[in-house]
Amino acid sequence: MITPSYTLKQHQELNELEAKYGFPDLIVASVDSDISATLTPLQRQHATNWRSIANQRFGEELKAQLGRQSTVEELANRLSLSIAINQFRNDRTTLPKSSS
């Protein structure tokens, strides 16, 4: 994935957005017209980009499981699950080894 170069102000905008909504809710915010109206164009695009990434990663999997196109909330929930699984795996690999 190509990481664009942002100014300090743009980084602050995106950090505020991510702190407020987090990644799963960021996806929902990208399609909520009330929330979207409060975002800057950069924040709106960032949220849309994350929704697109989540859909590319999990859209077909969810469609196969559900037998239909997933809702944005279901997509966000699947992303939350993926984050939790990865965090659990990372936590397990950093635990000290027991001496048995």
Domain boundaries, the chain: 17-88
pTM of the model as a whole = 0.76
99 pLDDT band, cuts 50/70/90, is low
Grade residue 100 by pLDDT with cuts at 50, 70 and 90: low
Q: How far separated are the first and last CA of the chain, in Å rounded? A: 43
pLDDT for 43-53, tens place per residue? 999 999 999 99
Rounded to the nearest 5 degrees, what angle is found at the Cα of 54, between the Cα atoms of 34 and 44? 30
Residue 72 contacts residue 48 (beta carbons within 8 Å): no
* Tens-digit pLDDT profile for residues 46-83: 999 999 999 999 999 999 999 999 999 999 999 889 98
